[in-house]
Chain A
């Protein structure tokens, strides 16, 4: 060992002696301390115990205005819309506010779960609106605006009165009125950390079902609980086109060729592109072959043009437009050729 490498070793050893005391120095030159301003800019989360909640306030009336202006287009004026997302408001009763359990969730009376039928922590709603809404302009709301909008939503839910002002001072009181505040359980085995007994969450990973790997004569008969409804068979487009056309299986033809093509092709231009025509033809310009606009101009008013052109495209050929040939297009289905030529003669629209 050279003296040089010995001295490196000594430095390395020294580092491990002094460095290990402070893990912070393990990766020299990698990363740097975050400034308080940087942490403030990004650390916007609000926890259930309200750690992270910004100071501020806003009332129902102001919230109503803001909601109408910034939220109603997607969520409806009363948070009731099902157009863009599931409804924010509705589905809870005065009684739920008392018990802290939304009765509709177990009785089956609830046609659809809204945000307020589920949420057990008011911090969640504040945090989310602040970080993500409005959907197209996230993080644009000031704290007072978030308070006001949340006050409005709470009023819609009849949790607070119309003259209510929500603030960092009273939000903990509102938490005590949330209709589904007692609606969560963590008694399950799906938390990948320490169990509740050890200060964490859940039962420590104990599953809630127990199947056994029986191999022979496992049951007397096969009970079919449900089969694919007819509407669902066709609701996902042409299944034949969602599988390879070679291999051990084919996609089942669910729509038939005509409907399938309509479903698959947004327009005849797509068909022309898929059929390879657009590699040689432009709609309005010549590439290798004539522009389709030139074709229309040439054959205008000729009643037999359609059938002649279908035959020509199918067989290929040269001489009409010059000496470059068009290759045969025999691989294209007759139906499709007809559609294509009709489309060309109609001005490629």
Chain B
């Protein structure tokens, strides 16, 4: 831990800020007098720290920093705002060796540094099968048709103009890849929560219920009990969705995400939202919906996203993401700054509805305490939990265990492996354990 105390949160003059880009341009254009003045102001501010001695107090208080003694940047300096330059560590990352080509790969969301339940759109995890495309919204179309004419009165085509004229809904839902935590079925394989659980994000999505669209086309739901969703990208991803979910009004075609349009990596300008179901069904760049009277056994429900069992059978059409939780602070690959008080924080979610309770253990699952749930608790959305902890500097094993409104309790590794073995890849919702040692270092372990 000595390492930590030697890295105090020292404030550093940042050279990039010394001149704004405009000022650099002004210099390029020969307006040097302007520049000299701003240098004088900044140099004066930088000389100040030498004045105060540490014994009198924190130099960060005693010596006013440059941002307190100078003029800040004007409005619209970055017309589309960006995070602080001090936040550059928290970005989407690939797990080396997981995929062989970037176009058929995954980037994980940095859960270890996120707060609350909304994933910033730029940090939303990515999973592409054939690369991502930036689709021209004026040329994008959504077609709805039937596998045969008797299932739908009128096959229709909608433009984005038209979809955005229709009655819309805005709802917060989590999206989790079916393979999230899949690397860990057999044993601990990756160091941080970004890689164990980062194929998970949560956004407010806005769009039109698919039910509305199907009714508009005159669907015959007596015969049409399945829906095929298809993407407009190279992979033209297809997945089967049950009509029951569509009829419930839950499934919608979304164009909005967290107040703006979807990001290209997340399906701009249109994707399907299938709450509680694994991400692969949330077809991106959605171009077509077909109603049918039987499931489709598409590649990603007949060769992938099938769960291998010990008896050699694969579970097909496994779609729901069952109740799960994980502590994000502190988590693997982190080191606690010191002994004493901590707000232990994490995320819980269930594809079957709302989270009812989250319990946290500090002793590897012998004793548990209920955590505070930050409300409002929403249906099939991430739920943030927090619990107080005073770390005494001794080894500890932290776990969280979620329960959803159906009464289902997140299982242990032992319980899951007994039924599913260790090779099923998908739907690993086991209780995650983080071990803390005397140095404060937290690592990934599995408790049976």
Contacts and interface: CB of A to CB of B under 8 A. Distances in A.
Interface of A: 22-24, 26-27, 29-34, 38-39, 42-45, 47-49, 51-52, 83-85, 101-103, 105-107, 113, 115, 118-121, 123-125, 127-128, 131-132, 135, 138-139, 183-194, 199-202, 205, 207-219, 221-229, 232-233, 235-237, 239, 241-254, 275-277, 279-280, 287-288, 323-325, 327-331
Nearest to B403: A213
B189 interface: yes
Contact of A324 (B27, B309, B315, B359): B27
Given A205-B320, A243-B113, A244-B90, A49 B335 contact: no
A224 B445 contact: yes
B316 to A, nearest CB: 4
Contacts of A287: 24, 27-28
A311 to B, nearest CB: 17
B394 interface: no
Contact of B318 (A83, A190, A232): A190
B317 A183 contact: no
B154 to A, nearest CB: 5
B366 A217 contact: yes
A24 B310 contact: no
B56 interface: no
A225 B308 contact: no
Nearest to B413: A225
A47 B96 contact: no
A312 B90 CA distance: 33
A47 B147 contact: yes
Contact of B367 (A23, A185, A216, A323): A216
A212 B409 CA distance: 6
A128 B318 contact: no
Contact of B320 (A113, A123, A192, A199): A192
B333 A276 contact: no
Contacts of B112: 242-243
A189 B216 contact: no
A330 B12 CA distance: 9
A320 to B, nearest CB: 16
Interface stretch (B118-126, B199-207, B256-264, B299-307): B299-307
Contacts of B169: none
B96 A236 contact: yes
B314 A30 contact: no
A190 B178 CA distance: 11
A259 to B, nearest CB: 14
Max chain A CB contacts within 10 Å: which of B89, B238, B401? B89
Nearest to A277: B15
A190 B359 CA distance: 24
B318 A215 contact: no
Contacts of B90: 242-244
A239 B333 contact: yes
Given A33-B156, A138-B130, A124 B446 contact: no
Nearest to A219: B366
Contacts of B189: 229, 232
B59 interface: no
Given A22-B153, A31-B156, 9 more contacts: A30-B216, A84-B101, A127-B299, A139-B236, A193-B243, A209-B416, A249-B329, A252-B441, A276-B14
A107 B308 CA distance: 12
Rank and list the top 7 A-B pairs by shortest CB-CB distance, nearest first.
A193-B242, A106-B312, A276-B15, A222-B364, A105-B312, A190-B318, A128-B299
Contacts of B266: none
B312 A209 contact: no
A223 B333 contact: no
Given A183-B312, A242-B110, A331-B13, A84 B100 contact: yes
A324 B367 contact: no
Given A43-B288, A138-B236, A227-B188, A222 B24 contact: no
A225 B365 CA distance: 14
Contact of A239 (B16, B130, B192): B192
B446 A132 contact: no
Given A226-B188, A248-B337, A215 B368 contact: yes
Contacts of B364: 222, 224
Nearest to B370: A215
B230 A45 contact: yes
B447 A224 contact: yes
Max chain B CB contacts within 10 Å: which of A118, A183, A249? A249
Contact of B215 (A23, A51, A244): A23
- On chain B, which size bracket covers the interface? 35 or more
Contacts of B18: 276, 279, 327
Contacts of B166: 27, 30
Contacts of A188: 307, 315, 318
B334 A222 contact: no
Contact of B244 (A139, A192, A217, A219): A192
Contacts of A33: 154-157
B216 to A, nearest CB: 6
9 contacts: A30-B216, A33-B155, A42-B288, A132-B234, A205-B352, A222-B364, A224-B435, A227-B435, A242-B89
B447 A222 contact: yes
Interface stretch (B38-46, B72-80, B371-379): B38-46
Nearest to A318: B39
Given A22-B218, A34-B155, A226-B446, A248 B336 contact: yes
A124 B297 contact: yes
B363 A222 contact: yes
Contacts of B446: 224-227
Contact of B334 (A24, A216, A243, A288): A243
Contacts of A245: 7, 9, 86, 89
A192 B319 contact: yes
B86 to A, nearest CB: 8
Contacts of A228: 188, 191, 332, 443-445
